[in-house]
């Protein structure tokens, strides 16, 4: 049914059926260790609807997201291929969009990417010919108008569901929803947010999104990262820009015996998921259990999100 779906990915179909979607994340390795990648991805199978594969996240060299996405397809899992505008100009980006579509990848998450000063090649040059919003616009134009940035006709259009990220916790606070609206105006169909810890601020963000009518135009997924330890919570609070972990969570983690901290972290995550899903306009959960993929089944189950709908991509 090409007509009703813009891309026909499993993710798009689940959203459009009115069900809450769940996505996970699986970072490609810093080398060619395919087995490790597959092992992590296997924990996600059947527990999430699609799996994000990151594109050199935190500006650290890893194997490329397109290859990782293809591996997921071979494993019978739907990828959300992430693509950052840091490393390639419009020629490279469009070429990769076409290549990814040709491989059967149906979801693309358009990102600007972390600055290279955070990664393992701080002496690298960055490109930034485009930003995430322009990338989303590019894909939309290629897919819906059959036109590349240059105006050249695409011989075969890339059918991909267009995603982007949003950080409700960065500043200026009152502009975050507006900026998400710009992404949506540029063609973004689903949003995965930065990890949410400050539920109050998140609630305000969603209220604004509802008021602006954005939740009618776009599927917004709440980003959840379970806190594995007190150390991780403190690190996130102190060092990850724009990420505020409220003290109440840290107090909770500190209040349980050492061997129960992980379980408490999971409990918090599950509560957050349920609270998010009860909010108007939240269309799903993006679960980023970084190097904790083996706990995803447990979290998704405890949150009452199993079984996942059985849907075939086009």
Kindly tell me which of 13 and 86 has the beta carbon lying closer to another protein.
86
- Using CB under 8 A as the binding rule, whether residue 203 contacts another protein is answered as no
Kindly tell me which of 154 and 185 has the beta carbon lying closer to another protein.
185
- Using CB under 8 A as the binding rule, whether residue 269 contacts another protein is answered as no
Residue in the structure block whose two tokens are 């305000």:
204
Among the candidate windows 62-70, 176-184, 254-262, 287-295, which touches another protein by CB under 8 A? Answer: 176-184
Using CA atoms, how far apart are residues 55 and 26, in angstroms rounded to an integer?
Answer: 11
Contact 266, 298 (CB under 8 A): yes
Element spanning 139, H or E:
helix 132-140
Which residue of 175, 211, 229, 309 would you call a contact of another protein, by CB under 8 A? 175
- Using CB under 8 A as the binding rule, whether residue 163 contacts another protein is answered as no
Element spanning 50, H or E:
strand 50-53
Q: How far apart are the first and last CA of the chain?
A: 8
Contact 246, 176 (CB under 8 A): no
Contact 243, 194 (CB under 8 A): yes
Q: CB of residue 185 vs another protein: minimum separation in angstroms?
A: 6
- Using CB under 8 A as the binding rule, whether residue 117 contacts another protein is answered as yes
- Using CB under 8 A as the binding rule, whether residue 172 contacts another protein is answered as yes
Among the candidate windows 36-44, 72-80, 162-170, 286-294, which touches another protein by CB under 8 A? Answer: 162-170
Kindly tell me which of 42 and 185 has the beta carbon lying closer to another protein.
185
Element spanning 223, H or E:
strand 219-224
Residues 54-113 binding another protein (CB under 8 A) are: 86, 90, 112-113
User: Helix 65-74 to helix 90-102 angle, to the nearest 10 degrees?
Assistant: 10
- Using CB under 8 A as the binding rule, whether residue 302 contacts another protein is answered as no
Beta pairing, strands 219-224 & 79-84: unpaired
Nearest to 273 by CA among 47, 71, 31: 47
- Using CB under 8 A as the binding rule, whether residue 131 contacts another protein is answered as yes
Residues that bind another protein (CB under 8 A): 86, 90, 112-115, 117, 126, 128-134, 137, 149, 165-167, 169-172, 175, 178-179, 181-182, 185-186, 194, 241-242
């Amino acid at each position: 049914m090409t007509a009703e779906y813009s891309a026909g990915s499993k993710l798009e179909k689940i959203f459009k059926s009115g069900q809450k979607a769940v996505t996970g994340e699986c970072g490609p390795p810093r080398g060619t260790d395919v087995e490790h990648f597959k092992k992590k991805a296997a924990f996600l199978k059947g527990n999430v609807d699609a799996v994000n594969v990151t594109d050199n996240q935190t500006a650290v060299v890893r194997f490329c997201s397109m290859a990782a996405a293809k591996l997921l397809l071979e494993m019978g899992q739907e990828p959300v291929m992430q693509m950052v505008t840091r490393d390639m100009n419009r020629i490279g980006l469009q070429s990769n969009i076409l290549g990814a579509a040709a491989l059967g990848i149906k979801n693309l998450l358009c990102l600007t990417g972390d600055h290279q000063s955070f990664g393992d090649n701080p002496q690298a040059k960055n490109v930034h010919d485009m930003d995430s919003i322009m990338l989303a616009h590019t894909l939309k134009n290629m897919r819906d108008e059959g036109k590349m940035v240059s105006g050249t006709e695409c011989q075969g259009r890339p059918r991909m569901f267009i995603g982007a990220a949003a950080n409700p916790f960065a500043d200026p606070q009152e502009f975050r929803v507006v900026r998400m609206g710009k992404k949506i105006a540029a063609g973004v169909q689903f949003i995965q947010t930065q990890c949410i810890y400050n539920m109050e601020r998140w609630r305000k963000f969603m209220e604004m999104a509802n008021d602006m009518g954005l939740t009618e135009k776009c599927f917004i997924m709440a980003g959840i990262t379970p806190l594995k330890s007190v150390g991780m919570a403190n690190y996130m609070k102190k060092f990850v820009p724009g990420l505020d972990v409220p003290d109440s969570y840290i107090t909770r983690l500190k209040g349980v015996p050492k061997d129960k901290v992980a379980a408490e972290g999971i409990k918090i995550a599950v509560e957050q998921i349920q609270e998010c899903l009860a909010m108007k306009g939240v269309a799903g959960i993006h679960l980023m259990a970084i190097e904790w993929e083996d706990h995803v089944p447990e979290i998704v189950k405890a949150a009452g999100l199993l079984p996942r709908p059985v849907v075939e991509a086009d």
